[in-house]
Structures are given as C-alpha cells and as structure tokens.
A and B are shown apart, each in its own frame.
Chain A
Amino acid sequence: MDEKVIFLKDTSADADRTRDFYASFLNALRECGLEDKVQVVRVADIGIYNRGLVVKFADKDIVYVNVEEKDIKNIVAQTVKEGKVIEKFLFKDEPKQLRIVLRNCGEINPENIDEYIAKDGYRALCKVVSDYKPEDVIEELKKSGLRGRGGAGFPTWMKWKFTRQTPETQKYVICNADEGDPGAYMDRGVLEGDPHSVIEGLIIAGYAIGASKGYFYVRAEYPLAVERVEKALKQAYDYGFLGKNIFDSDFSFDIDIRLGAGAFVCGEETALIASIEGKRGTPRPRPPYPSVKGLWDKPTSINNVETLANIAPIILKGGQWYASIGTEKSKGTKVFALTGKVKNSGLVEVPMGITLREIVFDIGGGMLSDKGIKAIQTGGPSGGVIPKEYLDTPVDYENLQKLGSIMGSGGMIVMDEDDCMVDIAKFYLGFCVDESCGKCVPCRIGGYQMLSILNKITESQGQIEDLDKLKRIALAMQKASLCALGQTAANPVISTIKYFEEEYRDHIVNKKCRSHKCKHLVNYNVIQDRCKRCKVCVINCPVNAISGDKEKGFFVDPKVCVRCGKCFEVCKFNAIAKE
C-alpha cells in the first residue's frame, strides 16, 4: 500500500494553529476512510510565510495556502480522495524577487574575474565590439526601455544617443557611484558584490557613444567598494577588456577612478563633473546638458551604477526580454534598500509593478514590532512619504510621482506609528540644508527658513499660518532652484503636509506630538496607581522637577521639567507616562 504524505504548517503571523488543523485533518480522513492511506505530518517550516495554513501534498507537487478549518473536509474529499485540484487554494509559486542587477552578488567572488567570466561575464562586451555598430547598441537599449536608475528615470538610450550625436572627437562616460542618500546602499552592494558587471556596462556605454575614456566617481566613504573596483579594473586591463584594441577591434577604452569627498550635491550631474575636474562641486545651469558640454566641456554621459549593471544582460538576452519585465512605462527591475521598521532589512531586487505591500510584507516579512505601519518613504531627501492607504500601489516611476514621492535611487524606509511625520520632514530637510552648496538663493535661504519654521513647530511655538508659509517657500524652491537638490529639497515637507496635515495641526494647535518624538511637546507624569514611591525618579531627575512625599505621591512640575526622559527610563514599574 503506497502511503501519501501531507505536510501541514500554519504560517499566520500571529498564531500557530498547526496542531488544531492536524486534528481536523485526521478527522476528515477518517470520515472518508483514508486514515491508513494518508500520513499527515506537521512541520516547523515550509518555506512560505504569512499565508495562513499551508498544505503541501508531497506526491502531487501541489501546495494550498490560506486554508481555513471549514475547508478541510472539502479538501480531503476532493483533492485527497479524488485527486481534483481546487484552484482557489492553489499557491502559485511566483518568486517575488527577480535578480538581474544583483545576479552575481553573493554568488561569485567579486575579486576574481574568472568567476565573473564563468557567469557569461564580458561576453556582452565581446558581442558588442565584434558584431554591433554603436547605433545597434543604442537601438537594443531603446527596445529594452531601460531608464536611468539614479532617480530621475530619463531613458538611457536617449541619453546615449544625444551624447553620440554631438559632433566632437573627445567624449567621456562617467559612472556615478557617489551614493549619498541616507538610508540607501544599493550601489555599494553592487560595487562590492559584482564590480565587473558595472565595469562591463561602462565599457559598452563608451563604445555606444564613441568615448575613449571613462571615469568611476566613487564615494570615498566606501573604502571596500573603492578597493574592489580598483582590483577589478586592474584585472580587466590584464585580460585585455580595457586598454587598446579590445577583442582585437578598433575600439580602445580606459577607465580611471576619481573619489568623491562627501558632498551630496555631487550626485547632480553638473556638480559631479565639477568635482571630477577637481573643483568645488557646485552645479551650473542646464542647458547646455552634459551630453553637449560636460566634462572639460566635452560631451559626457553620466550613468548610475545600477543602470550600468543592467547593460550586459540586456545585450545578451535582448532588449525585448528586458521589456517583457515590468510595467508599461517602467521596464525591468529595481533594487531597493529596504530598511527601517521592517523585519528583514536588506537589498531587494523586484520587477517594476510589484506593490509596496508585497515588498514590505512578503519580502520584508512585515513589521518589526506590533506597531502598525504608518508610511513608507522612498527617494530619500528628494522623495516623499507614502501613507499606508496606498500600500497596494504598483511601484513604478509614474505611480510614485503621482503620490508625491519619487523612485529615487532606491531607498525605501518603513515607518511605524512611533515615527512623527513632522520630525521626519525636519530630518530630511535638515539634511538638504546641510548639503546645499549655497550657490543659488532659493535653496540656500529657502531651505534654512523652512527648517527654522519646522523647528518652531516642534518646539511648541508653531502658528497655524506656518503651514501656508511652508507651502509657499516650498513652491519657490521647486520653481527657482538651480539644481535638483534645491528643487526637490522641500518634497518631504510637502508630502508629509499633504498626507499628515492633521499631525502638523496637532503640533501647532494642541501642542501635542502623538508619537512622543518631539520632546518639547511631551509631558511626563507619574501614574499614581502604578507608582511604588521608590523615589528613583526623584533621585535621577537632573533638574529636581519631581516633588512630593510617600503619602501624597510624586508629581512632575511641567514648568521645571526639561523633558530629558530620564525618569521614564529609570522607572522599573512603568509608572511614568508620556503625554
């Protein structure tokens, strides 16, 4: 008698009812007289998460998810007894992640070029220089629909075409690896994990636009990435993938490294160019665009690390293949640095069009604590927050823009109920004010003024007119700033006002911060029922704001209290309340 095996696991996040389901299964099997023919096994892990009861039929290679107690009879009668598949429970095994950019990260030794070559490395380069005209490369990219991954999402093929078209003998390509967004490390991941994939992309870019020289502009704060790129470049020279007459063609190409020195504004094209030229990294007005007048006034194409890592797979598998992934206007995949209050922080690469919910809950494993999700921030200091109501939005360039955020370079920060939106806006704006190069007035003065208003609001001095003032200054910055840093610096403020105006009003009118983040708006009180009169808070208070005696109890004097939170920390009985 051949025995069938069924595996069971309750994968709900809140409870494990596997044992109850097990009993129900045995009952149902007994009713059908199958108890001797089918073995039911409870397992501790089944490789699927947050899908309720998961039932795996070992002999049939079928997996059911989200099964409820009441369904079990039906499942035993139909699937076990008659072998019929019930569609509605069927688990369709679509891997949510799709690794194109990160294809080799963690798979190969990044310091060994042979391992990269074994994974089809430099085959795209060989194919391009032997069989493709530069125009063919650009055509292939056009088919692929690849857009720049640095933030703005400009079609890569157009950028290359414009640079190619400019009549000039000396042209340059630059890889922008000056990743400066706080809370994002996609480029670092790729440069440290698979530097050759970026180098190959840069060489192909050079071939396509007719450049003989490329630069890697890498953040000096990433010493390991710098070291790996240096090693990889040397190996590529040794193997003849760089230098004169690559693959015996007429094409010669050199790459040099230039280190960034910690200036966020250098992510902006024209500022980056100034920095490579050895100057202060201040932007200049465009046009002329770098594709016409860039590095040393020569036509220059600047591409992000992630964009370049996409090039070789597109050449090898064809633009059409790449275009089959993603949404109508946003093709391919995007790497996100998923961080914040999420269970599994890390780099994820997903096809465009996936929803935010899938990224946070299916891939990220849900929230870190039992505090509910409040919002997701994308695009770093140039982006905005997306409140939880929009979690089911498919991620692509257009959708995020519609919501008042941007795709950005790929930072994705999950925030929960403990995070104060005014505080978040202040954090991002503070970053941009710090990093503003000071060249143009709207950004230099506008940012500073907005920040002082936000400070006022969080220090309980806010007035209701401040909201309007913030919006007006923001508009001026958006319209009149010289570069993208200033134009987008107000985005975090605008988007938090858009979705969380209530919270701003709470700060201004009621002088309350519901997340207890803004310390000037928090009042500490002793909860008399819980207080054991141990006086630990009294002893630890640095300004003697707590007084009273053992009979009457202890009280915090809000006029003396400096809101340091020491009493809250030292109380062992949770008898101090924040309000």
Chain B
Amino acid sequence: MTENTKNMQEEIANLVEKWKGKEGNLIMILHELQNYYGYIPRPAALELSRALETPLARIYEVITFYNFFKLSPPGKHTIALCMGTACYLKGAPVLLNEIKNLLNVEEGQTTKDGLFQLDVVRCLGCCGLAPVIKIDEKVYGKVQKSQVMGILSEYGNHNQEG
C-alpha cells in the first residue's frame, strides 16, 4: 500500500466519522472531498463507498447528476465564464469564442499545459458587471473582447512551456 492511498484512507475515514449519524450526508462529504482534491478521484470514490457501505454506483449517480462535482483534475487556474442572461445579452458568447480561440480549448476542458480550465457557468450573481469572467477568485467585470488576452496573460505564459 502506497503512502498516498494510506493518506486517502485516513482522510476519508475522518470525513465519514465527522458526518456519521447525519442523514443525507453523501453530498456534504463529496463537497469536502472536492474541496480537498479539487475533484473527486476514482480511488477516493471507491474508498468512500467502502467506508459508507454504499454501492459505488450510488455515489457516481450523485456525482454525475450535479454540475458542481468534477471527475477530472482542474487546471491550475479555473476560468469561469458567466453565461447568465445579462452576460449573454451583453456579449458573453463573443468572449467565449475569444477564449476558446486563444487557448485552443473547449468548454469544460483543461488546456494541454494544464494552466487553464475553461468552465461556462450559469450565473455568478453579479449581473450589474455583465459580462463577467471569474478566474480563480478574481472577478473581471464589463470585459470586452480586446481585454481578454491581457487578462489571461496575467496568469502566466500559456503553451510556451507546454
């Protein structure tokens, strides 16, 4: 048994202990797992199924239902492009195309160098600033197409280091 899986077992045992006896805890445990790993690794889901004595299918059925849970590791920086109504009307589709072109990446995917993950989200709840892009925790409001490249370059050189 490698060090990693041992850690994972402990981590999950702790989580299960914390939420033990609280009904309907699966989603909350998954939230904590994702906070920890950035996504839900398959070994973690397997381990969780053992610890909770719940079939793996039950766990995956929940993970895949909700948009929030991810099955693959996120890029170093997550770009969340808001596609709420206000942003849509004020040009979010144009920004999306620009980002896709600049980074050569599709929605929901990570760039080959792992620097960026591009997510299209429904509403960030800051419609007054539309159109909005959020990179990690930083929100960029009233973004214009011409600004996109400048914003992305704040996060390092994409593609050049491969």
A residues touching B (Cβ–Cβ < 8 Å)? 179-185, 188, 220-222, 256, 258-264, 275-282, 296, 337, 339-341, 345-346, 377, 380, 411, 413, 415, 419, 427-428, 431, 437
Contacts and interface: CB of A to CB of B under 8 A. Distances in A.
Nearest to A427: B88
Interface stretch (B10-18, B122-130, B147-155): B122-130
Interface string B113-138: 00000000111111110100000000
Contacts of B84: 182-183
Contact of B26 (A278, A341, A437): A278
Contacts of B122: 180, 182, 262, 264, 431
A182 B123 contact: yes
Given A340-B85, A340-B89, A185 B26 contact: no
Contacts of A184: 123, 127
Contacts of A346: 128
Contact of B85 (A180, A281, A427): A427
Which 9 pairs from chain A and chain B are nearest by CB?
A183-B85, A261-B66, A262-B67, A185-B125, A278-B24, A278-B26, A182-B84, A262-B68, A345-B128
Q: Which of A181, A275, A339, A411 has the most CB of B within 10 A?
A: A339
Contacts of B125: 179, 185, 188, 221-222
B8 interface: no
B61 interface: yes
Contact of B24 (A179, A277, A413): A277
Given A180-B122, A415-B89, A345 B23 contact: no
A181 B125 CA distance: 9
Interface string B47-63: 00000000000000110
Given A183-B84, A185-B123, A280 B68 contact: no
Contacts of A428: 85
A183 B23 contact: no
B139 to A, nearest CB: 11
Contacts of A415: 89
Nearest to B32: A259
Contacts of A427: 85, 88
20 contacts: A181-B123, A182-B84, A220-B31, A221-B124, A221-B125, A259-B27, A259-B28, A275-B27, A277-B23, A277-B24, A278-B24, A278-B25, A278-B27, A279-B24, A337-B127, A339-B127, A339-B130, A340-B86, A413-B85, A427-B88
Interface in B62-84: 62, 65-69, 83-84
A145 to B, nearest CB: 29
Interface residues of B, number: 32
Contacts of A261: 27, 30-31, 66-69
Contact of B83 (A182, A262, A280, A411): A182
Nearest to B85: A183
A541 B147 CA distance: 22
Contacts of B126: 185
Given A181-B123, A279-B26, 17 more contacts: A182-B88, A182-B122, A183-B86, A220-B31, A258-B27, A261-B31, A261-B67, A262-B66, A262-B122, A275-B27, A277-B23, A278-B27, A340-B86, A345-B127, A345-B128, A413-B85, A437-B65
Contacts of B67: 261-263
A281 B63 CA distance: 11
Q: Which of B30, B62, B121, B128 has the most CB of A within 10 A?
A: B128
Contact of A258 (B24, B68, B88, B90): B24
A377 B127 CA distance: 14
Contacts of A185: 123, 125-127
Contacts of B31: 220, 259, 261
B73 to A, nearest CB: 18
Contacts of A411: 85
B49 to A, nearest CB: 14
A259 B122 CA distance: 17
B62 A345 contact: no
A276 B24 CA distance: 6
Contacts of A377: 85
Given A182-B84, A183-B84, A415-B89, A339 B65 contact: no
A437 B61 CA distance: 12
Contacts of A182: 83-85, 88, 122-123
A340 to B, nearest CB: 6
Given A182-B122, A183-B127, A261-B31, A221 B85 contact: no
Contact of A419 (B62, B68, B89, B128): B89
Contacts of A260: 68
A419 B85 CA distance: 12
A278 B25 CA distance: 6
B127 A258 contact: no
A431 B123 CA distance: 11
Nearest to A265: B65
Nearest to B61: A280
A278 B66 contact: no
A428 B27 CA distance: 28
Q: Which of B25, B84, B86, B121 has the most CB of A within 10 A?
A: B86
A430 B155 CA distance: 32
A185 B69 CA distance: 22
Contacts of B25: 278
Nearest to A215: B24
A38 B110 CA distance: 72
Nearest to A413: B85
A259 B28 CA distance: 7
Contacts of A222: 125
B37 to A, nearest CB: 16
A16 B155 CA distance: 46
B62 A279 contact: yes
A392 B129 CA distance: 28
Contacts of A431: 122
Given A185-B125, A280-B61, A380 B23 contact: no
Contacts of B121: 221
B86 A345 contact: yes
Nearest to B84: A182
Contacts of B24: 258, 276-279
Contacts of B90: 340-341
A339 B27 contact: no
A283 to B, nearest CB: 13
B68 A221 contact: yes
Nearest to B25: A278
B39 to A, nearest CB: 13
Nearest to B19: A278
Q: Which of A182, A346, A428 has the most CB of B within 10 A?
A: A182
